[in-house]
Amino acid sequence: MGGSTVVEIGRVNNLQVVREADFGYYLDAETGNTSDDILLPIKSALGKEISIGDRIDAFIYRDSKDRPIATLKNPIAQVGELAYLEVVSVTKIGSFVNFGLEKDILVPFKEENYRLEVGSSYLFYIYLDKTGRIAASTRIDSHLEITNKYKENDEITGTVYGFQTNGSVMVAVDNLYKAVILTKEYFTRIKPGEVLNLRVRKYFEDGRLEVTPRKDKLTEKEALEEKILDYLKKHKGQMSYNDKSSSEDIKKVFGSSKNYFKNALGGLMKRNLITQDEEGTKLL
């Protein structure tokens, strides 16, 4: 586009309709140059009655020929925002995500912090690349905020967006705020893009939240006791696992720490529901 334009690509702009054609309407790009007028194609006007002189809110992006084009359709997000988007294809140049418009947007390979899978959704930051095209990135950490609005034990949801070198999980609470799940707090496989139900544990000194997928001790113990009973019922009332079993086995089969598992077995023995010996555990 020639001249100094105030039109923001990748955002909703309030522009005036200056001309009409068989195939759509032209919006004033406010550069003082009519050749910069932006086309709003008929199909993108969504059947709305439009007259010359009207000011309308239109989302501006670039078409396949790199020309600015307008639509009255609302995309899932605008440039400068975070959005949870589905991957629709993976190509040699990167992945494409559904943005809610006719045209999918590119996640360049260098902006993929982890492998993206078709059909899965992840949290992305929407930005304009060097050529002025809308693009998306999984590198969202610097775009998340710090908050103090949650209290200890508040139940929240968060989207996984990566892992620290020590295995701690990086989570965006409400897709806005920085949070971490420490390695000792989870026992099942967690993947980027997963949305988890979490509980607030505390705040770190840098303002990030420490969150956990675990319930409070009592609720977790009761849930684990039920899980053990279910397992026994499905395996003819006996299993080879007991409080001497390896942490790895317990984690794999029951998604729990050895400590919690021992507590749950103790609770079931107190209730006279099971018995234990070197061979394992039996239902009474």
Q: What is the pLDDT of residues 55-66, one digit of tens each?
A: 999 999 998 888
For 144-212, CATH gives 2.40.50.140
Angle at 112 between CA 139 and CA 194, to 5 degrees: 75
Model pLDDT for residues 221-276, shown as the tens digit of each residue: 777 778 888 888 888 888 888 888 888 888 888 877 777 788 888 888 888 888 88
Given this model, what pLDDT does residue 3 score?
43
pTM over 0.85: no
Which tens digit of pLDDT belongs to each residue from 162-200? 999 999 999 999 999 999 999 988 888 899 999 999 999
Q: Over the chain, what is the mean pLDDT?
A: 90
* pLDDT at residue 209 greater than cutoff 70: yes
Domain segments of the chain as ranges = 12-71, 82-141, 144-212, 217-283
Q: Is the pLDDT of residue 44 over 50?
A: yes
pLDDT value, residue 218: 64
pLDDT score recorded for residue 219: 67
Tokens, residue 86? 């589905």
Topology agreement, domain 144-212 and domain 217-283? no
Per-residue CA distances from 149 to 10, 163, 207, 275 (Å) = 31, 24, 11, 46
Quote the pLDDT of residue 6. 80
pLDDT tens, position by position, 82-134:
999 999 999 999 999 999 998 899 999 999 999 999 999 999 999 999 988 99
One of 1.10.290.10, 3.40.190.10, 1.10.10.10, 3.40.50.2300 is the CATH number of 217-283, namely 1.10.10.10
Structure token pair of residue 217: 């001790």
User: Which residue type, as a one-letter code, is found at position 144?
Assistant: L
For domain 12-71, the CATH class is mainly beta
What would the mean pLDDT of 19-36 be, rounded to a whole number? Answer: 92
Residue entry with tokens 């979490």: 198
pLDDT at residue 238, as a whole number:
87
And the tokens for 168?
Answer: 């701690």
Cα–Cα separations (whole angstroms), residue 159 to 172, 177, 276: 5, 10, 40
What's the pLDDT at 267? 81
CATH 3.40.50.1820 applies to domain 82-141: no
